[in-house]
Chains A and B, each alone.
Chain A
Amino acid sequence: QKEVEQNSGPLSVPEGAIASLNCTYSDRGSQSFFWYRQYSGKSPELIMFIYSNGDKEDGRFTAQLNKASQYVSLLIRDSQPSDSATYLCAVIFAGNEKLTFGTGTRLTIIP
């Protein structure tokens, strides 16, 4: 069974600090990794994707991928109250075309 694991939280971070969200996956051959943000009652919104080992930065967001450790993370710098949401990690496993999601980490930014 191919799985994606996330700490469900809740994770509380002070405004202006760095929020760090982590995700592990079960298939070493996986190639494509995604972070979605989901506000309560809304649909998932794609905020980052990463396909190669290392870091990828986009504004306040940085995705980090370590394929050897089967680990992908999302850093949010200068956290804002509007960042409070559930963050879903998703993986396209090798030989698949579909997204497999973790259960999400609920993040709360404390003003």
Chain B
Amino acid sequence: DTGVSQNPRHKITKRGQNVTFRCDPISEHNRLYWYRQTLGQGPEFLTYFQNEAQLEKSRLLSDRFSAERPKGSFSTLEIQRTEQGDSAMYLCASSPGYRSSYEQYFGPGTRLTVT
């Protein structure tokens, strides 16, 4: 049983560039979540999908952020025109998504540094 995978693990980019991250959830998990974590803080929710439908987006998520989950499998998170404040660990989690099973399992994360 493979866990959640994320690529790339590290990304260094210059301010103003676009970046895209990929997440592959645990197979048969219907729900996929994106979180962002900065140093000394707990992860903050960004958005989540039930299959291919994006059901909620955080008000923290500016228009520069977009996420997709085509075909309900892997997901991508794109940040356009990156800013230094976007530097963080971007975490993906997946969950079975059926009643009474709410546990979320995280991938290794993508650490973004914007210079």
Contacts and interface: CB of A to CB of B under 8 A. Distances in A.
Interface residues of B, number: 24
A101 B105 contact: no
B42 A98 contact: no
Contact of A97 (B48, B103, B108): B48
B103 A98 contact: no
Chain A interface main SS type = strand
A100 B43 CA distance: 8
Contacts of A42: 108-109
| Contact-size category for A | 20 to 34
Contact of B40 (A44, A45, A103): A103
A44 B106 contact: yes
B52 to A, nearest CB: 16
Given A97-B56, A98-B33, A103-B40, A43 B109 contact: yes
Contact of A88 (B42, B48, B105): B42
Interface of B: 31, 33, 35, 40-45, 48, 55-56, 89, 91, 93, 100, 102-109
Given A44-B106, A46-B103, A99-B33, 6 more contacts: A4-B42, A34-B103, A97-B56, A98-B48, A102-B42, A103-B40
